[in-house]
Amino acid sequence: MSDRLQLVFIGTGASIPSPRRRLCCLAVERDGEWLLCDCGEGTQFHLSRNSISPGKIQHIFISHLHGDHIFGLPGLLATMQMLERSQPLTLWGPPELATYIHWLQKHELLTLGYPLVIEQLPLGAVEQRQAGPFAVTSAPLSHRIPCLGYRLQEKEKPGIFDAPKAEKLAIPFGSERKQLQNGKAIVLADGRKVEPAELVGAPRPGRSIVFCTDTRPCIAGRGLAQDCDVLIHDSTFGPADKNRARQTGHSTSTEAAKLARLAGAKQLVLWHISGRYTPEEEEAMTKRAAAIFPAVLLPQDDLNLQVPRRMVQ
Amino acid sequence: MSDRLQLVFIGTGASIPSPRRRLCCLAVERDGEWLLCDCGEGTQFHLSRNSISPGKIQHIFISHLHGDHIFGLPGLLATMQMLERSQPLTLWGPPELATYIHWLQKHELLTLGYPLVIEQLPLGAVEQRQAGPFAVTSAPLSHRIPCLGYRLQEKEKPGIFDAPKAEKLAIPFGSERKQLQNGKAIVLADGRKVEPAELVGAPRPGRSIVFCTDTRPCIAGRGLAQDCDVLIHDSTFGPADKNRARQTGHSTSTEAAKLARLAGAKQLVLWHISGRYTPEEEEAMTKRAAAIFPAVLLPQDDLNLQVPRRMVQ
């Protein structure tokens, strides 16, 4: 089993597709299993362009029911059916998501043979659930309509086993070593007692991805992002358009950088970028954000980001 | 005013988008005004790639409510709104189309500021209406769910005015010539009577586009296609898969060619091509169809076809 956690930025644009940016979708892979955050129109084509098979997607998290975040969902669900999917798929989102999907099913716009589980998340409270390898926290953000932010938190991993030292202490291969790795002390045949701390390093913390779009900078978003590895945050506008950001329930790149700094995130990804900006303007936005929070990235569509596990001293 | 009538084959594939074929959409232009037949997911991106501005689309005809024919519609309508459209748009289709769009509007998945007119067409009868420059005939096809075929019939154009002969007969410029062109006899100042037939050729027939997908070959489709200029017909499968075509309510390329021949169409476009076929298999399908009906075309996405006006002897 590999320890890979990667993000593929399928669609990084806002509202209207532009020649440079598609509609909203983030794909997350952990050890061959995929999940999506949002599913703008065209997602199924762009997954295929990134060699991400719909059959490998286990979970889809939906932030809110604006078209640029969900109009790719019915087509993707239908394609999974036509590819003869049999394993379950879980959709996560606001209660209206279930209403929408059930309506499409009732009117035979969607006819699915595989189990579709819809997990309705509350709009007024922080909620914790388990989704595959991730503990998921959802929280209500601050947008024009009800909208959820998500934190995907990997479990911690046991510390590294010091094999050379185990050799030196003549600890046999097999159950003894396994017990130590599982945190249990052992007594060897010669009577020596060995504690796990002698051979096993500190547990390695799980990684965390936080997806906060569409939203004003808000307390709930900051709470989700606390000490996370990667924060993907609404950055629809540049700092000069901050009034427009406020009016439309979005954030500027500068506001996203300030929130990332306050939350102690390790990496910020500027997200949901308006099609109005030129590449030069995007570069200027990124530089201004970097003055506040240096580990900032404004990705192009299809960019791939590997999330390393943090080293423990 | 130009006399252009062109077809742009935006998406020529069936059911699932393949790397070579997108989902169903035909764009039709007459003198700068556009209409669409069907609107599969991604239509708005591919219109933009063909420099077709959503603002120039006046009518959208929907054949039936299968996802590969309509899941691009909500996104396109939303984009028209974001581009601040003000002029009306007319949607044509089965009654369920109105139910779908009204549901999206009621749940604020679509919020439109421009007038959206939904023309509900009957599922059990042939219907005639007017849509911009076209007389539209709809008729129920033979698919797994209710599905409409469309004939778009241009008006005939007055015959060509013989300007050299008018000069010879010393017919003054202005109202006299206009009257002749409008089919009325005139009396000149010197008492000569001139009949329009002396100077104006036979009226030039309007052109006709027939869109029949998804469907088995059927009487209604043949009726729509009678003597048409271009017949775009379901050809999901090759002749070897004729049982599958029958089971799924589609046609083979051979069946489409037979229907085009019976109907006396001038040009057949094989349409809604399954992604299962290689380019070589498609070529073989086309050759077999051409043995039955020579003026056959199996288009690639984005191909552009100019429809000439027929010459009258």
Sign of dihedral through CA atoms A172, A177, A180, A186? negative
CB B154 within 8 A of CB B207: yes
Q: Euclidean distance between the first and final Cα of chain B, in Å? A: 24
> How far, in Å, are A171, A272, B88, B97 from residue B120 at the CA level?
80, 37, 16, 8
Q: Do B79 and A16 touch (CB under 8 A)?
A: yes
Predicted pLDDT at B312: 63
State yes or no: pLDDT of B1 exceeds 90. no
Render pLDDT for B140-185 as a digit per residue (tens, 0 to 9): 999 999 999 999 999 988 888 899 999 998 898 888 899 998 889 9
Name every chain B residue with its beta carbon within 8 A of the beta carbon of A23.
75
Q: A16 at the B interface (CB within 8 A)?
A: yes
Q: Is residue B2 very low, low, confident or very high in pLDDT (cuts 50, 70, 90)?
A: confident
| Alpha carbon of A52: minimum distance to chain B alpha carbons (Å) | 14
Render pLDDT for A142-167 as a digit per residue (tens, 0 to 9): 999 999 999 999 998 888 889 899 99
| Nearest-10 crossing angle of helices A253-263, A279-292 | 30
Provide, rounded to the nearest whole percent, the portion of chain B with pLDDT above 90: 83
Known active-site residue A162: no
Q: A42 at the B interface (CB within 8 A)?
A: yes
Name every chain B residue with its beta carbon within 8 A of the beta carbon of A50.
none
Measured CA to CA, the distance from residue B220 to residue B222 in angstroms comes to 5
Predicted pLDDT at B19: 87
CB B11 within 8 A of CB B23: yes
What type of residue is B164?
Answer: P
State yes or no: pLDDT of B202 exceeds 90. no
Task: State the complex-level ipTM.
Answer: 0.88
Predicted pLDDT at B89: 98
| Alpha carbon of B209: minimum distance to chain A alpha carbons (Å) | 28
State yes or no: pLDDT of B104 exceeds 60. yes
Measured CA to CA, the distance from residue B32 to residue A37 in angstroms comes to 40
Q: Do A41 and B75 touch (CB under 8 A)?
A: yes
Chain B contacts in chain A segment 72-111 (CB below 8 A): 72, 74-75, 78-79, 82-83, 96, 99-100, 103, 107-110
State yes or no: pLDDT of B77 exceeds 60. yes
Measured CA to CA, the distance from residue B254 to residue B251 in angstroms comes to 8
CATH number of the structural domain B5-157+204-306? 3.60.15.10
Domain ranges of chain A: 5-157+204-306, 163-198
Per-residue pLDDT tens listing for chain A (313 residues): 678 999 999 999 999 988 899 999 999 999 999 999 999 999 999 999 999 999 999 999 999 999 999 999 999 999 999 999 999 999 999 999 999 999 999 999 999 999 999 999 999 999 999 999 999 999 999 999 999 999 999 998 888 889 899 999 889 988 888 898 888 999 988 888 999 999 898 888 999 999 999 999 999 999 999 999 999 999 999 999 999 999 999 999 999 999 999 999 999 999 999 999 999 999 999 999 999 999 999 999 999 999 998 776 5
DSSP codes, B62-97: -----HHHHTTHHHHHHHHHHTT--S-EEEEE-HHH
Measured CA to CA, the distance from residue B102 to residue B77 in angstroms comes to 13
Locus of tokens 């420099």: B51
Torsion angle of the four alpha carbons A189, A195, A201, A206, in this order, in degrees rounded to the nearest 10:
110
Measured CA to CA, the distance from residue A246 to residue A252 in angstroms comes to 9
Measured CA to CA, the distance from residue A265 to residue A214 in angstroms comes to 18
Predicted pLDDT at A36: 98
3-state secondary structure of B250: coil
Locus of tokens 């120039």: B56
Torsion angle of the four alpha carbons A109, B44, A235, A8, in this order, in degrees rounded to the nearest 10:
70
**From B83, which residue of chain A is nearest by alpha-carbon distance?**
A16
